[in-house]
Structure 1
Amino acid sequence: MKNLFNDKGKDEIISRLEKLKDNSPGQWGKMNSNQMLCHCADQLRLANGEKHSVFSGSLLTTTLLKWLILTILKAPKGKVKTVKELKQGAGGSAPTNFENDKKLLIALIDNFDKSFETKKFFVHPAFGKMDHWQWGRLAYTHLDHHFRQFGV
């Protein structure tokens, strides 16, 4: 399974990201491409501990739903509830300049594995405790979902 912790997954994601344009239209949802860059960067910051969110999961989200999302299901197109720390206009990082925000996301992806060298893993707000592989898989699937949203 593709994952941000292996070169194949990371290289594919960066290659797709490099094709994203400021005017790339969204196929669903309300974000524009620059807002999406910031949203995705915030998710990686949540994973590496630079950003924090309160745990609001349940037994269902920390077991069955986490397993389904990481192994079988693709995120649905359209509105998916997100924590305010990742939500554009509510607590997520505001877009600045498209090219700068794009470079920042590429840097976060490039350095994602280094964030986990301390073996400290942060709690996901819905899925709870996650190991190295799970964070890498979730990061890959989240980026893939939003890149498909913008046709890259």
Structure 2
Amino acid sequence: MKNIFSTDDSKEFVDRINQLKNDSQPIWGKMSVDQMLAHCNVMYEMVYDDVHPKPNSFLRFVLKSFIKNKVVNAIPYPRNIRTAPQFIISNNRDFELEKSRLIDYINRTQQLGEKEFEGKESLSFGKLTSKEWNNMFAKHLDHHLSQFNV
């Protein structure tokens, strides 16, 4: 598992993102490259921007009890896995804008470092360790960058 808090590993993710072109095609799945970038940005929006509502207590219980471990463990996601509704991007997005936003989020996360994320509250899963945050960020990025063969 790559470490999103590591300068080298974060740079590797950014380098992979920079290989994408606005006409890059997925190996699997239905998202266009601009939608995929916007989809990846949602996780960071949930951390840095107040644009997504916090799930109600029942949904949060369900997420913590049944989904959390699959998201924060080190096991890669399978292809064509279902996604949560707030992560579904159905309209076209500005490729360059979404790419720039994702790179900025990755750099910001790396610069803040592990200490900032140790015990930090997740919108959906409650408090997470920095390792769980890393796994969530890194495996999600790797999954979708691999989807676009970069």
Fold shared per TM-score above 0.5: yes
Gaps of 5+ in 2: none
**1:131 aligns to what?**
129
Aligned to 1:109: 106
Give the equivalent residue in structure 1 for 2:20: 20
Q: Is the 8 A contact 1:47 1:124 kept in 2?
A: yes
Aligned-partner Cα distance in 2 for 1:16–1:96: 19
Identity %: 27
* In structure 2, distance between residues paired with 1:106 and 1:34: 14
Secondary structure at the counterpart of residue 5 of structure 2: coil
Aligned to 1:122: 121
Give the Cα–Cα distance (whole angstroms) in 1 for the partners of residues 121 and 92 of structure 2. Answer: 25
- Going from structure 1 to structure 2, the CA distance change for 1:119 and 1:134 (only over 3 Å counts) comes to closer
State the one-letter code of the partner of 1:139: F
Shift in Å at residue 139 of structure 1? 0.3
Aligned residue for 2:65? 59
Mapped to 1, the partners of 2:48 and 2:73 lie a distance apart of: 18
Q: Report the Cα distance in structure 2 between the residues aligned to 1:48 and 1:122, rounded to whole angstroms.
A: 12
* 2: CA distance, partners of 1:62 / 1:100: 30
Partner of 1:70: 73
Q: What is the Cα-based RMSD across aligned positions, in Å? A: 2.5
25-34 vs 39-48, which moves further: 39-48
SS of the residue corresponding to residue 57 of structure 1 reads helix
1:81 aligns with 2:79: no
**TM-score (normalizing by structure 1):** 0.79
- Counterpart secondary structure, 2:16: helix
Residues 1:28 and 1:147: Cα distance change in structure 2 (over 3 Å): same
Count of residue correspondences:
142
Structure 2 CA distance for partners of 1:59 and 1:98, relative to 1, 3 Å: closer
Do 2:35 and 2:93's aligned partners in 1 also have CA atoms closer than 8 Å?
no
Q: CA deviation at 1:124?
A: 5.2
The answer (yes or no) to whether the contact 2:119–2:128 under 8 Å persists in 1 is: no
Cα distance change, pair 148–58 in 1 and its aligned pair in 2 (3 A): same
What secondary structure is seen at the aligned counterpart in 2 of 1:25?
Answer: coil
Q: TM-score, normalised by structure 2?
A: 0.79
